[in-house]
C-alpha cells in the first residue's frame, strides 16, 4: 500500500492573503504559475528574474489577480548585489518578506560527459556549461536561502513561533537521478543537501524550510521529450499543479524539513518517509550510531569547523 497522498488544503492556501512572497525565476514556467496562485490568494508578489525576462514579467503582471500588488525586480541569483537589492526592494515596497521560493534553475543543453568534445589537438574540452548549471542551481539557491534567512529572521513571529518560510525547488532527480543529465542531477542532489543542512539555522531564525520535488512538468527544460512522455501515458504535472504544492509547503505551519514529490495527482512526502526507513536501509546499529553522533554535534553546538590552512 502506498503512503498517503499529500493533500492541498484550501484553508492553507487562503492564508497567503496579505503575505509577501519573493519568487526567483518567476517570469515563466513553474515560477510564473506560483506567482499567479499566490496573487490569486491575496499575496503581495515580488517577481525576480534576469533582466532579459523583463518583457515576460511585465506581460505576466497584468494577468495576476492583484496586479497592483506585484512588482518585477531584475535579479541574477549569482549576483550578491542583485540579491541584496531584491530583498531591500521587497521590504521597501511591502514592509516585510514572509515567503521565499527558490525556484530559479537551469539544465545543461549538451551532455557534460561528452568525451568526444575535444579541441583541434584532440584534448578534452572543459565543460563550462556544467559549471554554469551547478553555479546557478546550487550557488544561486544558497544565495537565495542566505538572503531569505537574513531578511526574515527579524520578522515578528506570526504563527507558532515562525516568522517566515522558504521553499526550495528540488526535483525527483535529486532523489533518483538515473537519466544521465549529469550536472542537473548533481545540482538537484545538492538542493536536497541544502534542505537538510540548513534546518538548524532556519529554526534559529524562526523560518520554516521545505522543498518540492517535481517530477515531469512541461516547461522549456522538458520540451525535448514532451511528446514522447504524453504518448507513453505517464503521469505528469502542469506548472499549476506544482504551484499548488509550493503554496501548500510554504504556508502549512506543520511542515518543517519536508520535501513533497509532485507528479500530477500523486503527491508524496519524501524526507520524513526516508527518515522512517533508515533502520531498514542501514540497519539498527548504524541508525543508533547516527543518532548518537547527531546528539554529540548538537552538544558541541554544531559541527566544529576546521581551521583554514595557511
Among the listed residues 184, 216, 225, 299, the single catalytic one is 184
CA 106/CA 104 separation, integer angstroms: 7
CA 170/CA 246 separation, integer angstroms: 11
- Interior/surface letters 102-124, b for 16+ CB within 10 angstroms, e for the rest: bbbbbbbeebbeeeeeeeeeeee
Among the listed residues 59, 84, 175, 188, the single catalytic one is 188
Could you give the C-alpha distances from 117 to 80, 108, 181, 309, in angstroms and in order?
33, 15, 16, 36
Could you give the C-alpha distances from 88 to 19, 46, 230, in angstroms and in order?
16, 11, 43
- φ, ψ dihedrals at 44, nearest 5°: -85, 135
Task: Judge residue 65's burial from the number of C-beta atoms within 10 Å of its C-beta, 0-12 exposed, 13-18 middle, 19 or more buried.
Answer: middle
Helix (H, G, I), strand (E, B) or coil at 202: helix
184 annotated active-site: yes
139 annotated active-site: no
* Rounded-to-5 percentages of helix, strand, coil across the chain: 50, 15, 35
Q: Are strands 70-74 and 99-102 parallel, antiparallel or unpaired?
A: unpaired
Contact between 45 and 21 (Cβ < 8 Å): yes
Could you give the C-alpha distances from 24 to 3, 60, 137, 148, 282, in angstroms and in order?
31, 14, 11, 11, 37
Q: Which residues are catalytic?
A: 184, 188
Amino acid at each position: 500500500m502506498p503512503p498517503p497522498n499529500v493533500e492541498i488544503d484550501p484553508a492553507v492556501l487562503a492564508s497567503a492573503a496579505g503575505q509577501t512572497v519573493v519568487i526567483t525565476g518567476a517570469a515563466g514556467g513553474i515560477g510564473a504559475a506560483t506567482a499567479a496562485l499566490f496573487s490569486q490568494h491575496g499575496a503581495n508578489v515580488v517577481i525576480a528574474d534576469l533582466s532579459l525576462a523583463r518583457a515576460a514579467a511585465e506581460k505576466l503582471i497584468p494577468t495576476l489577480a492583484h496586479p497592483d500588488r506585484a512588482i518585477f525586480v531584475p535579479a541574477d541569483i549569482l549576483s550578491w548585489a542583485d540579491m541584496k537589492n531584491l530583498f531591500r526592494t521587497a521590504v521597501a515596497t511591502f514592509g516585510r518578506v514572509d515567503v521565499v521560493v527558490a525556484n530559479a534553475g537551469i539544465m545543461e543543453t549538451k551532455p557534460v560527459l561528452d568525451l568526444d568534445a575535444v579541441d583541434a589537438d584532440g584534448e578534452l574540452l572543459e565543460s563550462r556549461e556544467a559549471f554554469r548549471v551547478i553555479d546557478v542551481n546550487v550557488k544561486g539557491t544558497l544565495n537565495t536561502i542566505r538572503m531569505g534567512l537574513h531578511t526574515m529572521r527579524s520578522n515578528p513571529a506570526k504563527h507558532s513561533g515562525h516568522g517566515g518560510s522558504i521553499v526550495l525547488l528540488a526535483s525527483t532527480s535529486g532523489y533518483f537521478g538515473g537519466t544521465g543529465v549529469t550536472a542537473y542531477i548533481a545540482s538537484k542532489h545538492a538542493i536536497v543537501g541544502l534542505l537538510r543542512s540548513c534546518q538548524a539555522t532556519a529554526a534559529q531564525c524562526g523560518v520554516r524550510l521545505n522543498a518540492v520535488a517535481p517530477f515531469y512538468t512541461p516547461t522549456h527544460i522538458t520540451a525535448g521529450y514532451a511528446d514522447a512522455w504524453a504518448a507513453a501515458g505517464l503521469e505528469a504535472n502542469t506548472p499549476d499543479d506544482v504551484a499548488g504544492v509550493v503554496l501548500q509547503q510554504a504556508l502549512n505551519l506543520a511542515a518543517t524539513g519536508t520535501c513533497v514529490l509532485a507528479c500530477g495527482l500523486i503527491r508524496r512526502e519524501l524526507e520524513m518517509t526516508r527518515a522512517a526507513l533508515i533502520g531498514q536501509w542501514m540497519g539498527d546499529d548504524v541508525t543508533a550510531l547516527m543518532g548518537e553522533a547527531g546528539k554529540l554535534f548538537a552538544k558541541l553546538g554544531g559541527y566544529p569547523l576546521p581551521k583554514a590552512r595557511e
